[in-house]
Amino acid sequence: MKKRIFQSGLKKSEKMAPATRHFAKDEDGAVFTLFVIIGLFMMFATTGMGVDIMKFERERASMQATLDRAVLAAANLDQVEIPAKVVAEEYIQKSGLSDINYEIQVFEGIGSRRVVATSDKIVTTNFMKWVGIDTLTAAVTSTAEESVGSVEISLVLDMSGSMGRASATPGKTKMEVLQEAAKNFVTTMYEKENPDKISISIIPYATQVNAGADILDKFTNVTAEHAYSHCLNFRGSDFQTAVLDPDASFQRTAHFDRYRTNGTQWEAPRFLTCATRAGSEITAHTNDIDKLHEQIDDLTAQGNTSIDIGVKWGMALLDPEFRGIIGQLSREGVSPGAIETIVPQTFGDRPKNYEDDVEKILIVFTDGENTSQYRLDDDLRDGNSDVWFNTEYTVDGEQVGEYSVRVSDPDESPWFYWTRQDTFRNHPYGYQEPGEANRLTYPELFNRTSLRWNAENNYDWQNNNINNWYWNAYNSVGSSTKNTRTSNICAEAKKKGVVVYGIAFEAPAVGVTTIEDCASSAGKVYAVNSDGSLGSTNLSLDQVFESIAASIKQLKLTQ
């Protein structure tokens, strides 16, 4: 066996000669060296090209940012003293980019201004020129537009009882503060704008929303128990869609007053579940500033809080399914023979389709949180009651009328309780007495008496009358259910691209949470504190509405 021994060092230099000559003749070494050189060159070239590209991108980004700011400044509709094109050009020049090639185009429209800036700049290369690329062209385009375009606004306003309480503003109730701020908002929205492009709907809400006869009478499948008031009882599923189909079946809200007092109970209804008082009715799609101001001034505080129903109706006024009703209102006079229509004719095609050039805005205002919504028991909604009424009965010179309540069963001999005279007879008051006794339907009865008065007086003769005719006469939808419904309908609005602003005015924490969940984003939430400030900022409700108006009309970078 041969042994190989490695030794460090060489005693005779001539022993290296054969190895050296062998290396010089070895072609494998030459190939390796060539690859190393090429690899180093490629690495250097790639790095150099990266440097050139970074330089190019820096120049392009700088140009883009400058043009963006320039067109935004030029598109500002409030800027009227200097031509928009000049504003953009001066902005570019003062930004240190006067050496670039650029073109400014301005397109003026009705209530709008669109500014387009295009620019290009030759950027020389340091490394890419080795491969034949001496320059790169940085070309940018920026477009900005300020325009209210076609705007549809649903102003959903709380008119519940708590709005009558004192606000943080000395000497003013919450309602008075709202009225001032909301009217200023309306005025601001139409300043320097084409009024035919902006429609505002006002949806006041408390326990319910009064759609009004003009709107509800155009629904084709609403129960017809009465025509005293005009509200709808929605189902839970109705809050899972933005659509309010006028041809779908709905139950009309019963006309009744379930409120009570610990003292003498009032007879005639005062606090109707479905309000009929001035200012409570929906105003749909108008640009009549005086009409909008008048309704806001007419708002009064009464009832519970149903944010869910307010938002549902507010969304209905923005959804295209409602166009048929708005179209009819744009052809109907405010009174017989009147030229003025209920909805201005120019808005007869609203609500527009979602994909049209339209901005749909939902503003939800509350000072509280969802509370109970009352519904009359189904057995008491319609049909004949066991109560008769005769208008011709006088007490102390005042004609107050007399009630006669049938005590006996229908198959027994008639026996009636005369309420005011607290006596029993075998006929209703008016059979042998002055006047005429008319049997009342349940809607007619509860249009005359509150629920509690009827229980305490007409049924005073009956055992357990308060339970039978008051506590068991109605049911309610609780706040937890209503919070879920509010969340659902707000989510549907946002899915449709509607911009939702939320205002919680001196509201409790639960109400603030509801508004935060409803709004499109945190930036669209305005939670005004009980001291009148917004967060840590001393911002009033009036300033909140000003901020929203500015936001609606704000500049939009379109490219």
d(CA 245, CA 253): 17
Give dist(CA 12, CA 1) in Å, integer: 27
Q: How far apart are CA 245 and CA 232, in angstroms?
A: 12
Task: Find the helix or strand (DSSP H, E) in which 70 lies.
Answer: helix 27-74
């950027």: which residue's tokens?
123
Of residues 34 and 515, more confidence is placed in 515
CB 430 within 8 A of CB 388: yes
Residue 311 near residue 302 (C-beta atoms within 8 A): no
Q: Is the pTM of this model over 0.85?
A: no
Long-range contact set of residues 510-516: C-beta below 8 Å, sequence gap at least 24: 510/369, 510/479, 510/483, 511/366, 511/367, 511/368, 511/369, 511/370, 514/307, 514/366, 514/369, 514/370, 514/483, 514/486, 514/487, 515/364, 515/366
pLDDT at 542 over 50: yes
Q: Tell me which DSSP letter residue 174 carries.
A: H
Contact of 307 with 479, CB cutoff 8 Å: no
Q: What is the pLDDT of residue 57?
A: 65
* 91 touches 73 (CB < 8 A): yes
In the three-class reduction of DSSP (H, G, I as helix; E, B as strand; rest coil), residue 343 is classed as coil
Where is mean pLDDT largest: 69-78, 243-252, 266-275?
A: 243-252
Please choose, from the candidates 388, 392, 422, the residue with its C-alpha nearest in 3D space to the C-alpha of residue 405.
Answer: 388
Euclidean distance between CA atoms 346 and 197, whole angstroms: 9
pLDDT band for position 556 (50/70/90)? low
Q: Strands 101-109 and 112-124, how do they pair?
A: antiparallel
How confident is the model over 321-371, as pLDDT tens digits?
A: 999 999 999 998 877 777 789 999 999 999 999 987 889 999 999 999 999
What the block records as the tokens of 162 is 């708590």
Only one residue has tokens 């509150």, namely: 450
Encoded amino acid at 212, one letter: G
Cα–Cα dist 421/425, whole Å: 11
Q: Beta partners for 117? A: 104, 142
The ranges assigned to domains in the chain are 40-147, 150-375+476-557, 383-472
Enter the tokens of residue 132: 């034949």
Residue 194: which pLDDT band, with cuts at 50, 70 and 90? confident
- How do beta strands 358-366 and 150-158 pair? parallel
pLDDT tens string 169-191: 999 999 999 999 999 999 999 98
Structure tokens at 300: 């009064």
At 28 the pLDDT is 53
Name the E strands within 66-187.
101-109, 112-124, 135-147, 150-158
Residue 532 has pLDDT above 80, yes or no: no
CA pair distance 396, 433, nearest whole angstrom:
18
Question: d(Cα 481, Cα 237) in Å, to the nearest integer?
Answer: 12
Question: 311 in helix, strand or coil?
Answer: helix
Contact between 363 and 155 (Cβ < 8 Å): yes
pLDDT exceeds 50 at position 549: yes
How does the average pLDDT of the chain come out, rounded?
A: 86
Closest to 377 measured CA to CA, from 468, 265, 478:
468
Percent of the chain residues past pLDDT 70, beyond the cut = 82
> Locate tokens 């490695």: which residue?
6
User: What is the 3-state secondary structure of 209-226?
Assistant: CECCHHHHCCCCCECCCC
* Four-residue CA torsion sign, 305, 290, 270, 178: positive
Percentages of the chain per state (helix, strand, coil), in multiples of 5: 35, 25, 40
- 150-375+476-557 placed in CATH 3.40.120.10: no
Quote the CA–CA distance of 552 and 358 in Å, as a whole number.
12
Per-residue model confidence as pLDDT tens digits over 281-316: 999 999 999 999 999 999 999 999 999 999 999 999
What is residue 158's three-state secondary structure?
strand
pLDDT of the residue at 145: 81
Cα torsion through 406, 411, 413, 417, rounded to 10 = -10
Q: Are 501 and 520 in contact (CB under 8 A)?
A: yes
> What mean pLDDT do residues 77-96 have?
81
pLDDT in tens, 104-143: 898 876 457 888 988 876 667 766 666 667 666 667 788 8
